[in-house]
């Protein structure tokens, strides 16, 4: 249950609290990357519910509930492995998608550097601590964060790639940790189920 709640908190932070939250604009968002975060949150919710039934099964010494707990953990483990492979294969597409969103916002700003578009591009720059697409001449008039070091942090496309790479690595680490917990949970549930069955046969 605790692991499931931790996954939910981590997924929601990446979606709404971290720098990746700024990838979503009023018009579009990197669907592939955010879809992975929604799957992560869903897996956490399922794990919390499964953990509750596992506790009930252990407390009541119910082979049926513990067996169901094992089956659910097996499904979760398979889902985690599938999501990990999907994230690894789709990483490049997710990066390109997020970069395209920034480039569209950049072009919109260049056409109309006032109003809501102005705040959108500035939000990107503050979240990623960057400004522009690497061309110093193009940065003239861009709303850049204060005290930013140019041209070192001038390429937002590179920063987007770095942010997604970093967050996907974090997701991978969390996934490996949860997969390990899931394996131990399956082992312990089977041991407990066999112990309960042996005790009942002895009685």
Q: Are 33 and 10 in contact (CB under 8 A)?
A: no
| Burial classification of residue 92, based on how many CB atoms lie within 10 Å of its CB (0-12 exposed, 13-18 middle, 19 or more buried) | exposed
Domains of the chain: 92-196 (1.10.1450)
**pLDDT of res. 173:** 75
pLDDT at 172 over 80: no
Report residue 147's pLDDT band, with 50, 70 and 90 as the boundaries. Answer: confident
Residues 6+ apart with CB under 8 A from 102: 23, 124, 156, 157, 160
**Can you tell me the mean pLDDT for 19-44?**
66
pLDDT(25) > 60: no
Mean of the per-residue pLDDT values for the chain?
75
> pLDDT tens digits, residue range 85-138?
766 777 787 788 888 888 888 888 888 776 665 677 777 788 788 888 876 555
- Non-local (6+) Cβ contacts of 91 within 8 A are 164, 165, 168
DSSP secondary structure string for all residues of 56-116 = HHHHHT-HHHHHHHHHHHHHHHHHHHHHHHHHHHHHHHHHHHHHHHHHHHHHHHHH--STH
Assess contact for 26 and 121: CB atoms under 8 A.
Answer: no
Predicted pLDDT at 187: 86
How many other C-beta atoms can be found within 10 angstroms of the C-beta atom of residue 38? 12
Beta bridge partners of 133: 155
Using the predicted structure, report yes or no on whether residue 37 has a pLDDT greater than 80. no
Over 80: is that where the pLDDT of 175 sits?
no
pLDDT digits (tens, 9 = 90+) for 49-79: 888 777 877 777 777 878 888 888 888 787 7
pTM given for the model: 0.67
């Amino acid at each position: 249950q605790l692991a499931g709640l931790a996954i939910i908190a981590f997924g929601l932070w990446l979606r709404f609290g971290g720098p990746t939250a700024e990838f979503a604009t009023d018009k579009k968002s990197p669907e592939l990357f955010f879809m992975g975060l929604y799957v992560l949150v869903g897996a956490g919710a399922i794990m919390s519910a499964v953990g509750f039934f596992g506790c009930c099964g252990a407390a009541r010494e119910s082979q049926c509930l513990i067996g169901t707990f094992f089956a659910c953990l097996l499904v979760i483990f398979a889902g985690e492995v599938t999501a990990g492979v999907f994230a690894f294969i789709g990483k490049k597409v997710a990066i390109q998608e997020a970069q395209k969103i920034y480039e569209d916002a950049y072009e919109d700003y260049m056409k109309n550097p006032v109003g809501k578009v102005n705040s959108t591009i500035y939000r990107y720059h503050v979240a990623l601590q960057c400004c522009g697409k690497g061309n110093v001449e193009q940065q003239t008039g861009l709303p850049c964060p204060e005290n930013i070091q140019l041209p070192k942090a001038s390429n937002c496309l590179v920063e987007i790639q770095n942010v997604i790479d970093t967050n996907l690595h974090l997701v991978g680490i969390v996934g490996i940790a949860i997969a390990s917990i899931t394996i131990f949970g399956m082992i312990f549930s089977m041991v407990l189920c066999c112990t309960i069955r042996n005790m009942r046969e002895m009685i």
